[in-house]
Amino acid sequence: MESELTYDRWDHHLQAQINNNPGDFMEVIKWAFDTYRERIIYSCSFGAEGIVLIDLIYKVNPYATVVFLDTDLHFKETYSLIDEVKLSYPKLNIKILKSSLTLDQQAVKYESKLWEHKPNLCCHLRKIEPLEKELKNADAWFSGLRREQSISRQNTEYVNKDERFKRVKICPLIHWKWDDVWEYIKLNNLHYNELHDKNYPSIGCEMCTLPVTGDDQNTRSGRWADFEKKECGLHQA
């Protein structure tokens, strides 16, 4: 695969060449580290796809940087999983990123329980801004997006020009199905968030995530269930 591609030196022909001749998902990961080296990070939510991608990345670069956007509003099960991952992958550089505002400061500056009234603003303060700051030191970032997840993600490529963060976004798992994710987790005996066993296919902040019930096939339908919002803003359609 070819190598030189950054947001500021974008080449559509090269992007197409990489996306059309990627080999497999492992080749995408290898290419990304060969190209960006320490200038690439993985922003991980520690969902099922996240655990798979951590395991794959570790096989290529055990010293990779993984960042978690800690809103201070996550489930206790998510924090417990992060502790387990740190033990299972001791060489990983796992960084916990937080908003510049505590929840109390946010309530004073804006309003109490901002996520209930203005979830977009809450996500911006507690997710977007911390990742923006971290990406100032990177040229590219990994994401666990899969095309199957939602309509807004169905055109995601292996290599994407990310207009939101002005970086290159690498998505190795775009062709994976939900069953593929779980087959890999079970086959490799990976730790995962126990909420997945309680009908939470997609897990975000505790206040904004509900279990998915019935025959709903949309794995993200439990996110911001009382709003039209289905993305936190990290991933533009």
Is 122 within any annotated ligand binding site?
A: yes
The answer to whether residues 26 and 60 touch, using CB atoms and an 8 Å cutoff, is: yes
Q: Which ranges in 136-227 belong to alpha helices (H)?
A: 178-187
Is 171 within any annotated ligand binding site?
A: no
Active-site positions? 232
Assign 3-state DSSP to the chain and report helix, strand, coil percentages, each to 5: 45, 15, 45
Nearest one of 134, 47, 48, 64 to 98, comparing CA atoms: 134
Question: Residue 225 corresponds to which tokens in the numbers above?
Answer: 């269930």
Q: Which ranges in 129-216 belong to alpha helices (H)?
A: 129-135, 178-187
The CA distance from 120 to 42, in Å, is: 23
Is 205 within any annotated ligand binding site?
A: yes
Is 123 within any annotated ligand binding site?
A: yes
Nearest one of 221, 115, 210, 206 to 230, comparing CA atoms: 221
Question: Residue 70 corresponds to which tokens in the numbers above?
Answer: 């800690």
Query: 3-state SS of 21-47?
Result: CCCCHHHHHHHHHHHHHHHEEEECCCC
For 213, half-sphere exposure in the C-beta direction (CA atoms, 13 angstrom radius) is 4
Annotated binding site for [4Fe-4S] cluster: 122-123, 205, 208
Annotated binding site: 122-123, 205, 208
